[in-house]
Amino acid sequence: MFGFMGFGEDIGIDLGTATVLVYIKGQGIVIREPSVVAIDKDTNTILAVGEEARRMLGRTPGNIVAIRPLREGVISNYEITEKMLKYFIEKAIGKRSFVKPTIAVCVPSSVTEVERRAVEDATKQAGARQVHIIEEPIAAAIGAGIDISRACGSMVVDIGGGTTDIAVISLGGTVVSTSLKIAGDNFDENIIRYMRKKHNVLIGERTAEDLKIHVGTAYERTTPVSLEVRGRNLITGLPKNITVTSEEMHEALKESVLAICDAVHTVLEKTPPELAADISDRGIVMTGGGSLLYGLDKLIKSRTGINAIIAEDSVSCVAIGTGKYIEFLGEGRGKGKFDIFGKPHNNKSSDFVATKEDEE
């Protein structure tokens, strides 16, 4: 699957805070691994990257640390980010490629100019002929199948690990946008805090994520669910099993999910009326792993009165959109600027198909 590269291959990379995805034109997504790097502190060498490093999170002996270099949507550790990026690019294309690829990278929207440049340099060093840095909401929109070239307003809400990006797009550009640091990681932290306060139990990050995915709730469930997890009783210091219900998770997550709804509301208020009318007709499109939190679509709908639709393969939208952006640059050359967007992608038109079925 990895290895040989043909001529002029185009690659799109979603450098996410939780997950890195690599998309190769014609092959689809070839890498999907956590943005984690394990380092030996004594020798300062990288021991593992991606999935292998993730397995070490929270289980490392003293001299080994597992780092998430992009935590909270900013590059908290530049050097490690560069090495991680290089590792994934080499894994995706192999070291023996004849023609250097054109690589588009989508970085968290809140990065600074310096960080942006750092990513560009790292990508070049890793073997790119040409590098494009792309705005995340634009990539998310393309990946969700939105025809961004039309003079029609679309709203994308991308809820990742570190950040939630909300943008109104029209004619290929962002009209109004905002980014907040409340997303998937934050939901996990909310759950850890809730368990400590309500049950005097300390749970790890991975357990918190399990709870979020399986019993997490943003909008009341008609059929409550529960999950048994193990943590440490903070009074006795011993392991303890505890059954957690979706009602409790609803309580734990309430503040964060409402903050996201408020931000959507604020962006809508700042949106020019014609575009707001388009959004109200077409619905709000949700992308990113965080959009899969149970009931978040229903909550946004109930708070804004506008239908919210989870894009098909919502975790891959940014990577797919990043890759397709290069296709557009390539094919668009010499033609009208947005020619490629005249036709729908993936047999999808701007009518979205929600993939997440209601669980009831």
Ligand X SMILES: Nc1ncnc2c1ncn2[C@@H]1O[C@H](COP(=O)(O)OP(=O)(O)OP(=O)(O)O)[C@@H](O)[C@H]1O
**Nearer CB in complex with ligand X: 14/297:** 14
How do 239-245 and 226-233 pair as beta strands?
Answer: antiparallel
Report the alpha-carbon distance of residue 100 to residue 343 in Å, rounded: 29
Report the alpha-carbon distance of residue 247 to residue 249 in Å, rounded: 5
Report the alpha-carbon distance of residue 133 to residue 155 in Å, rounded: 21
Tokens linked to 79? 């050097």
Determine the residue type at 77.
N
Residue among 215, 353, 352, 228 at smallest CA distance from 294: 215
Q: Residue 315 touches which of Mg ion, ligand X, none (CB < 5 to 8 A by kind)?
A: ligand X
Count of CA atoms in the C-beta half-sphere (13 A) of 24:
21
Report the alpha-carbon distance of residue 242 to residue 159 in Å, rounded: 29
Q: Residue 321 touches which of ligand X, Mg ion, none (CB < 5 to 8 A by kind)?
A: none
Q: Residue 137 touches which of Mg ion, ligand X, none (CB < 5 to 8 A by kind)?
A: none
Q: Residue 184 touches which of Mg ion, ligand X, none (CB < 5 to 8 A by kind)?
A: ligand X
**Nearer CB in complex with ligand X: 21/306:** 21
In angstroms, what is the minimal distance from the CB of 207 to ligand X? 12
**Nearer CB in complex with Mg ion: 71/150:** 71
Tokens linked to 113? 């100019």
CB-based closest residue to ligand X? 184
In angstroms, what is the minimal distance from the CB of 96 to Mg ion? 30
In angstroms, what is the minimal distance from the CB of 146 to ligand X? 17
DSSP helix/strand/coil, 179: strand
DSSP string, 238-272: SEEEEEEEHHHHHHHHHHHHHHHHHHHHHHHHHS-
Site of interaction with Mg ion (CB under 5 A): 16, 160, 318
Residue among 89, 70, 67 at smallest CA distance from 78: 70
**Nearer CB in complex with ligand X: 142/292:** 292
Query: For residues 52 and 39, is the Cβ–Cβ distance under 8 A?
Result: no
Q: Residue 127 touches which of Mg ion, ligand X, none (CB < 5 to 8 A by kind)?
A: none
In angstroms, what is the minimal distance from the CB of 160 to Mg ion? 3
**Nearer CB in complex with ligand X: 141/292:** 292
Q: Residue 163 touches which of Mg ion, ligand X, none (CB < 5 to 8 A by kind)?
A: ligand X
Q: Residue 69 touches which of Mg ion, ligand X, none (CB < 5 to 8 A by kind)?
A: none
Query: For residues 111 and 131, is the Cβ–Cβ distance under 8 A?
Result: no
**Nearer CB in complex with ligand X: 184/240:** 184
In angstroms, what is the minimal distance from the CB of 78 to ligand X? 16
**Nearer CB in complex with Mg ion: 17/207:** 17
Report the alpha-carbon distance of residue 357 to residue 14 in Å, rounded: 26
Site of interaction with ligand X (CB under 6 A): 14, 16-19, 73, 108, 160-163, 183-185, 209, 212-213, 216, 288-290, 292-293, 315
In angstroms, what is the minimal distance from the CB of 185 to ligand X? 6
